[in-house]
Structure 1
């Protein structure tokens, strides 16, 4: 663990003990505007934190309150396709766990494999498919690296999220998320394969962080913002710009729902 990162955080936010860590994906950046008394620290000032290299992903740690909870919000993540490594978020999550976080709330933008899950929908992850079969735990020692991934996405937290989203007038579906390494989008044949494997949505993130979180004994809640239909399921032309524009269109509501969920979670 990077002690200097902990020292830098303690100096900027003395006495603050976050219980919930949040990773913001594309479309979810509006959450930081809903925080109370936020403190912003650039990743560049925190040893071991990554330099996100993807449009739509910031590079800041935000500390403050959302509703009943003190939170640490990672605005942006490092994706495996940026460097080829899949452990880029290990140090940030390790630091936040050491600071007191017990829960990791993950967010992402994803493509839908279900007609009943159109763009603009929100989906809570009930499970995932690690399509590349890559792990951020490779090279670590000890028995702890053999992480049990049953209920990797905490059922109790997910059940709360469904109810809390409904209070905001939003139906939160539950589904299986498939991790594709990227950065290219999937082919129509790959989308058909993933649907037959049982996936409901597909994206290029989240799974490595979930593996790391379970290794660190953090409970995980993860939400997808559906920005498009998978390749071959509509006439839209897929691009990163298209993903960002669709995420921006639905992001205000998604961030408001996320703030309500985080602020009202019961952790004990």
Structure 2
């Protein structure tokens, strides 16, 4: 099946394939694990099944280093089931916005009521240290696109659910919160762009998450967002490169896995 068909139909087909391959009829929680967050899949629950993404309708192998390219079903200690989406599609890959949000829509079709979105990002706010996990409390979507088509006026006032953020702070009281900015990429930002983003209220910047969060809200899910500060944004330190982002993500993996384990146990 291709992304050209109706997105709802494609998500339903993907969810049916996941249920068949995992033997789990319904997943309660879904997590998309971005740069630095992947190790959490190994520790937050017992693995029931791992599926190569390209074997599920609408998914493809991971497009960039640092993402697993698999879908994984976990059984949590609570008895709930979590779906780990390690096959994130980014807007800059050129497959279109519907491909970007297919994972979220599949999670909703699989039964998930909570969508946990994670990413690695550049820190705009100097209060955020490199290696720190920050709760996303709002976003600014500067991709110039939306996953919604037509007169579909979805309220995103409390998009990153206050209720879930309170639960996360219960697990880790030291968590800071901030506004995440999504740009299309794949190039990093210029120093002038970072000054602009800071002026309009942005505190961290990356190339994912906001479009997925909108699609999750449309699908009726509550959203919890985390960003790992992998580097100071452009103009705030030295030059930027993706290898350094991956290195910082790898160094943070044990801490992030522990954080997500404690947070997910409260969801």
Q: TM-score, normalised by structure 1?
A: 0.91
Indicate how the Cα distance of structure 1 residues 258 and 10 shifts in structure 2: closer, same or farther if over 3 A, else same: same
Q: Does 1:87 align with 2:92?
A: no
Indicate how the Cα distance of structure 1 residues 178 and 109 shifts in structure 2: closer, same or farther if over 3 A, else same: same
Q: Give SS of 1:88's match.
A: helix
CA contact 1:110–1:203 (8 Å) conserved in 2? yes
In 1, the alpha carbon distance for the partners of 2:263 and 2:63 equals 28
Indicate how the Cα distance of structure 1 residues 262 and 25 shifts in structure 2: closer, same or farther if over 3 A, else same: same
1:9 Cα deviation after fit = 1.8
Which of the residues 52, 57, 73 maps onto 1:47?
57
CA contact 1:50–1:88 (8 Å) conserved in 2? no
In 2, the alpha carbon distance for the partners of 1:89 and 1:132 equals 12
CA contact 2:180–2:206 (8 Å) conserved in 1? yes
Q: Give SS of 1:213's match.
A: helix
Which of the residues 250, 253, 256 maps onto 2:252?
250
Please name the residue that 2:182 is paired with. 179
CA contact 1:119–1:227 (8 Å) conserved in 2? yes
CA contact 2:101–2:211 (8 Å) conserved in 1? no
- Aligned pair count reads 256
In 2, the alpha carbon distance for the partners of 1:43 and 1:155 equals 32
Give unmatched runs, 5+ long, in structure 1. Answer: none
Which of the residues 229, 232, 248 maps onto 2:232?
229
Which of the residues 94, 97, 115 maps onto 1:104?
115
Please name the residue that 1:17 is paired with. 26
Q: Does 1:122 align with 2:124?
A: no
Q: Does 1:189 align with 2:192?
A: yes
Per-residue CA deviations over 1:133-154 (Å, capped at 9, x if unaligned) read 211223xx5x5x2211111110
In 1, the alpha carbon distance for the partners of 2:106 and 2:95 equals 23
In 1, the alpha carbon distance for the partners of 2:15 and 2:205 equals 34
Q: TM-score, normalised by structure 2?
A: 0.91
Indicate how the Cα distance of structure 1 residues 84 and 93 shifts in structure 2: closer, same or farther if over 3 A, else same: closer
CA contact 1:125–1:224 (8 Å) conserved in 2? yes
Indicate how the Cα distance of structure 1 residues 255 and 211 shifts in structure 2: closer, same or farther if over 3 A, else same: same
Per-residue CA deviations over 1:181-219 (Å, capped at 9, x if unaligned) read 110000111111101101110001001100110110111
1:87 Cα deviation after fit = 2.1
In 1, the alpha carbon distance for the partners of 2:13 and 2:143 equals 33
Q: CA RMSD in A?
A: 1.5
Indicate how the Cα distance of structure 1 residues 84 and 95 shifts in structure 2: closer, same or farther if over 3 A, else same: closer
Q: Give SS of 1:185's match.
A: coil
* Segment of structure 1 superposing worse, 243-252 or 128-137: 128-137
Which of the residues 13, 35, 39 maps onto 1:26?
35
Mapping 1:132-147, distance limit 5 Å: 132-138=143-149, 141=150, 145-147=152-154
